[in-house]
Structure 1
């Protein structure tokens, strides 16, 4: 995980400084690691076990900014944090019926772990109670991609050809 996070950050920093003029896109940001108590609170909030890779990510950096999506950390769920935008996106997705359209069983917990700035894309931690091996769903703007682990998402951010995510759970 440490290597993946390092690659994602170094790729994004390289892109940031290659822009002309520098600073057109948001500046890449990593945060100090999450504390054990914050991870426990996040797991309670999500109403499901945190996927091992996501937990490891949060122990390295409590979220990352400056990418196509904000990768949320524990601190983002404080009042006024990016978790509010992510929760707004989650409500819109659930109300649209999209989860069932792509094969997510009704009642499956959807917990946002990422959201873009205009709240049109997000990534959810999902727990299908063993019905599917995938634990993450990236959706929005007509996309639907399922990933087994958080490491797959980071790999996809580095290179979209790094894995072949499913578009539905059916």
Structure 2
């Protein structure tokens, strides 16, 4: 499925949930942002310390993050001072303290947050294991640990958890 179609599907599902709320409007309004530009992507890649996965790069070229979801899908603008990137970094530090090698993340592997929930208890990281693992994304928090090959798989899972069977450990 094309990235544009995946983003559309995620937004459609979230808008349905928003209007199903009673009363309407009690949850955050879903929002699509304007696309990131090449300079912002280059800065984000520099900040992450790794090459951006192709699907995440394509996502940012469509919408520089998505708001109004259980997890904010971070874009380039979220790393500006006062942005949600700061909350994502706090969650990253918590994760690093919790021994991620227990689920197969190599010690010292770069972890860069691409999503975080409001209470900093769940997040999704771009990972670079510099090894044989094909997985580039790790969803963790609240006892969950899911690994995804690409960002398209993450979006598919957000829309329909039965659409993808993620690994729970890199070593499995």
Give how far 1:28 is off.
0.4
SS in 2 for 1:107: coil
Q: Distance in 2 between matches of 1:19 and 1:118?
A: 21
Alpha-carbon displacement from aligned partner over 1:11-58 (angstroms, at most 9, x marks no partner)? 111110121101121110111000100000000000000000000000
| Over 6 Å off, 4+ runs | none
Structure 2 gaps, min length 5: none
Distance across 2 between alignment mates of 1:79 and 1:150: 25
Structure 1 residue runs without a partner (length 5+): none
The number of residues matched between the two structures is 169
Q: How does 1:61-140 map to 2 (within 5 A)?
A: 61-97=63-99, 99-140=100-141
Aligned to 2:38: 36
RMSD value, Cα = 0.6
Q: What TM-score do the two structures reach when normalised by structure 1?
A: 0.98
Match of 1:58 among 45, 57, 60: 60
In the superposition, the TM-score normalised over structure 2's length comes to 0.97
